[in-house]
């Protein structure tokens, strides 16, 4: 007589008729391999089993990488669509004041930033009534302010797009909102020969939304479109 458990005939017939079901079940195959190793005893080294474990681990890493690549692709596509929608909204206004108000309103909302500021360097004071009317989005600074702000006064040439995290924002730019700004994107703007530079600043409360490790292609494209729109208004 044998003490080995006997599989039920109905279950055996089902397995025999559909063996692929077992082969496609990862957990079941893992349990069968483990049972086979126990049956061989501790003195037998199953090289095939070791190789399969390594292949399985490698496959797991490849699947994780595949999922990460797909997630990054979807995120990049979503970011591209976001920037395109913001650009289309930015090109709608037919007067400069509406253009600036939309910049701090619907354009900022589309880009999902908390504060958007346009910094313009000027030799004149900020006593112009238009500056006060548009103070929520427009900031006037003295010549040289933008490069100093982007480089920290180090004198190195500033990049067109600067992403960084901070403990709090600049009060000169953000005003009362400076205390809760934790990261920002700074887009340096070239308005053409003979004109002082400008800067578009996007500030957010989330410290992880903008960081130096992120790509800047989309924001560089946005800055290029914004420069051309501003040149139209300044001409």
Residue-wise pLDDT tens digits, 8-58? 777 777 777 777 777 677 777 777 777 766 666 655 556 666 676 777 778
So where are the chain's domains?
Answer: 95-234
141 to 54, 85, 149, 203, 231: CA distances (angstroms): 61, 30, 11, 18, 19
What band does 1 get if pLDDT is binned at 50, 70 and 90? very low
Strand 115-121 to 161-165 pairing: unpaired
Task: Give me the pLDDT at residue 6, please.
Answer: 67
Task: Give me the pLDDT at residue 71, please.
Answer: 67
Q: What is the largest CA-CA distance in the chain?
A: 106
Residue-wise pLDDT tens digits, 74-94? 677 777 888 899 999 988 888
Residue with tokens 């410290």: 207
Strand 198-204 to 138-141 pairing: unpaired
Write down the architecture of domain 95-234 according to CATH. Answer: 2-Layer Sandwich (3.30)
Residue-wise pLDDT tens digits, 120-150? 988 765 555 555 566 688 888 899 899 999 9
Residue-wise pLDDT tens digits, 162-205? 999 999 999 989 988 999 999 999 999 998 888 889 999 999 99
Whether the full predicted model's pTM is greater than 0.75, yes or no, is no
């Amino acid at each position: 007589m044998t003490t080995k458990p006997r599989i039920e005939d109905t279950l055996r017939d089902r397995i025999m008729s559909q063996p692929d079901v077992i082969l496609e079940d990862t957990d079941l195959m893992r349990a069968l391999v483990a049972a086979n190793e126990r049956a061989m005893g501790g003195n037998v080294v199953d090289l095939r089993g070791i190789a399969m474990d390594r292949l399985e681990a490698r496959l797991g890493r490849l699947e994780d990488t595949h999922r990460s690549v797909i997630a990054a692709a979807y995120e990049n596509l979503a970011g591209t669509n976001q920037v395109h929608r913001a650009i289309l909204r930015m090109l709608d206004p037919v007067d400069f004041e509406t253009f600036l108000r939309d910049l701090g309103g619907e354009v900022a909302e589309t880009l999902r930033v908390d504060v958007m500021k346009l910094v313009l360097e000027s030799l004149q004071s900020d006593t112009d009534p238009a500056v006060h009317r548009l103070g929520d989005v427009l900031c006037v600074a003295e010549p040289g302010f933008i490069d100093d702000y982007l480089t920290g006064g180090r004198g190195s040439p500033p990049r067109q797009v600067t992403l960084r995290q901070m403990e709090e924002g600049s009060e000169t730019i953000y005003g009362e909102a400076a205390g809760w700004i934790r990261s920002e994107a700074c887009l340096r703007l070239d308005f053409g020969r003979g004109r002082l530079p400008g800067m578009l600043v996007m500030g957010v409360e989330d410290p992880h939304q903008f960081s130096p490790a992120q790509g800047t292609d989309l924001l560089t494209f946005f800055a290029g479109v914004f420069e051309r729109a501003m040149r139209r208004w300044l001409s």
